[in-house]
């Protein structure tokens, strides 16, 4: 059975093998899911349209879709299920909460916890990135609200980004504003999306771009009225899926595999680096002060 699976694995799956070895389309796992082709965990809701082969994945971690360990774990499991399903060709990633796509990493996961917890958390962040950035499927981010830091990272992992056209919503890698540093693979993802010059400036300043500015820099590909984000994502997906899968799936890793491999080669060192950085007293103080500022903003 395992040998058969290897034989039937698609070429791109082999190209991305290593940590990303789940991309064969040899199973029919919808039989494992509910018959209505919806499946849901606490933090992730997936609706699969069998007629189009498109899955819509909604993050649902109110109030701001903080990327907690639980959400990240459920995300990776759900994505893996879709990845091995031959009937699923495209993924639209969006938020179940109005106004926020994702507030990025859940800061409470990085404050006042043990080294073991930080290591497990960071491994889950890496896993999310490896799976989403390395996906064989067409991936479209339907950004229906603000999307700082880890939220921006998730959107940038996708092949195409559609954002709600409102200056109220901003997107960017704002880590330096928190006194922390976007790791090299966040930086690589942004460079891949908008190029070196914009990335250099954005990362140093921790710049958040209102939607119209994000469009100008190519951080997002399209702006549409808020109530048209989902339907536009579906239309864009249909266009992407009009390209034969095999050709598109061989093309995508030509660009992405070297970026993926950089992290794969140094995953453990990257985890150690994160744990040692985030455990520093000065960094803990910065994060705590940032959380206090977020809370004060409301008063
Ligand atoms: C070596 C490498 C080292 C480190 C690398 C680490 C990389 C880190 C990546 C990250 O993603 S860090 C997270 C950065 N995220 C942010 O800065 C976003 C902060 N949040 C906001 O800007 C806003 O909340 C918003 C997303 C724009 C939404 O605004 P809104 O007005 O709708 O909500 P409000 O601000 O009132 O927040 C509601 C509630 O949620 C709490 N909150 C917000 N963001 C986070 C978060 N990222 N993690 C945890 N909690 C968060 C906020 O405090 C409020 O809580 P309260 O109701 O209890 O007051």
| Domain assignment of residue 107, given as a range | 18-296
198 C-alpha to ligand 1 centroid (Å): 23
Output the residue whose Cα is nearest ligand 1's atom 19: 103
Q: How far is the CA of 107 from the centre of ligand 1 (A)?
A: 7
Mean pLDDT of the chain: 90
Which pLDDT score, from 0 to 100, does residue 185 have? 98
26 within domain boundaries: yes
Instruction: Report pLDDT digits (tens) over 113-137.
Output: 999 999 999 999 999 999 999 999 9
Q: What pLDDT does residue 172 have?
A: 98
- Per-residue pLDDT band at 40 (split at 50, 70, 90): confident
Mean pLDDT of 49-75: 97
CATH assignment at residue 187: 3.90.226.10
* pLDDT above 50 (res 140): yes
Distance from residue 273's CA to the centre of ligand 1 (Å): 23
CA of 217 to the centre of ligand 1 (A): 24
Give the pLDDT confidence of 162-179 residue by residue, as tens digits: 999 999 999 999 999 999
Active site residues: 105, 150, 174-175
Please report whether residue 38 resides in a domain: yes
Q: In ligand 1, which atom is closest to the CA atom of 107?
A: 48
Question: Which numbered atom of ligand 1 lies nearest the CA of 106?
Answer: 48
Query: Which of 63, 64, 210, 295 for a ligand 1 pocket mutation test, highest count of atoms within 8 Å of Cβ?
Result: 64
Q: Indicate the top mutation candidate among 103, 163, 290 to test ligand 1's pocket, ranked by most ligand atoms within 8 A of CB.
A: 103
Question: In this predicted model, what pLDDT tens digit does every residue of 208-230 receive, in sequence order?
Answer: 999 999 999 999 999 999 999 99
* Domain-located, residue 3: no
Instruction: Give mean pLDDT, residues 227-246.
Output: 98
Rounded to the nearest angstrom, the distance between the alpha carbon of 176 and the centre of ligand 1 is 14
- In a domain, residue 9? The reply is no
Q: What is the mean pLDDT of residues 277-298?
A: 94
How confident is the model at residue 9, as a pLDDT?
A: 32
Residue 131: inside a domain: yes
Percent of the chain exceeding pLDDT 90 equals: 85
**What is this model's ipTM?**
0.99
Residue 7 domain-assigned (yes or no):
no
pLDDT of the residue at 63:
96
| Pocket-testing residue among 105, 170, 294, 295, ligand 1, by greatest number of atoms within 8 A of Cβ | 294
Residue 63 inside a domain? The answer is yes
pLDDT band at 98 (very low <50, low <70, confident <90, very high): confident
**How many domains, in total, are found in the chain?**
1
Secondary structure of the chain in HEC code, one letter for each residue: CHHHHHHHCCHHHHHCCCCCCCCCCCECHHHHCCCCCEEECCCEEEEEECCCCEEEEEECCCCCCCECHHHHHHHHHHHHHHHCECCCCEEEEEECCCEECCCCECHHHHCCCCHHHHHHHHHHHHHHHHHHHCCCCEEEEEECEEEECHHHHHHHHCCEEEEECCCCCEEECCHHHHCCCCCHHHHHHHHHHHCHHHHHHHHHHCCCEEHHHHHHCCCCCEEECHHHHHHHHHHHHHHHHCCCHHHHHHHHHHHHHHHHHHHHHCHHHHHHHHHHHHCCHHHHHHHHHHHHHHHHCCC
Ligand 1, residues at Cβ distance < 6 Å? 63-64, 66, 99-100, 103-108, 146, 148-150, 174-175, 178, 180-183, 273-274, 277-278, 291, 294-295, 297-298
Per-residue confidence (pLDDT) for residue 20, from 0 to 100: 35
Instruction: Assess if residue 143 is contained within a domain.
Output: yes
């Amino acid at each position: 059975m395992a040998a058969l699976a290897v034989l039937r694995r698609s070429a791109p799956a082999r190209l991305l093998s290593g940590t990303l070895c789940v991309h064969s389309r040899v199973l029919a796992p919808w039989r494992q899911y509910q018959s209505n082709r919806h499946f849901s965990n606490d933090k992730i809701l997936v609706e699969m349209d069998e007629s189009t082969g498109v899955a819509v994945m909604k993050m649902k971690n109110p109030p701001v879709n903080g990327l907690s360990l639980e959400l990240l774990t459920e995300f990776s499991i759900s994505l893996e299920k879709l990845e091995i399903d031959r009937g699923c060709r495209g993924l639209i990633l969006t938020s179940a909460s109005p106004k926020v796509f994702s507030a990025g990493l859940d800061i409470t996961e990085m404050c006042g916890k043990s080294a073991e917890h930080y290591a497990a958390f960071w491994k889950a962040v890496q896993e999310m990135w490896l799976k989403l950035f390395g996906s064989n499927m067409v991936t479209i981010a339907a950004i229906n609200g603000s999307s700082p830091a880890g939220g921006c990272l998730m959107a940038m992992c996708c092949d195409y980004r559609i954002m709600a056209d409102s200056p109220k919503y901003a997107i960017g890698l704002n880590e330096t504003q928190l006194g922390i540093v976007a790791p090299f693979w966040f930086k690589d993802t942004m460079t891949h999306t908008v190029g070196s010059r914009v990335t250099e400036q954005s990362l140093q300043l921790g710049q958040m771009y209102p939607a119209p500015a994000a469009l100008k820099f190519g951080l997002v590909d399209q702006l549409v009225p808020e109530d048209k984000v989902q339907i536009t994502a579906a239309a864009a997906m249909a266009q992407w899926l009009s390209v034969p899968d095999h050709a598109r799936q061989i093309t995508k890793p030509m660009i992405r595999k070297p970026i993926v491999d950089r992290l794969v080669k140094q995953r453990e060192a990257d985890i150690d680096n994160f744990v040692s950085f985030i455990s520093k007293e000065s960094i803990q103080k910065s994060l705590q002060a940032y959380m206090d500022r977020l809370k004060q903003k409301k008063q």
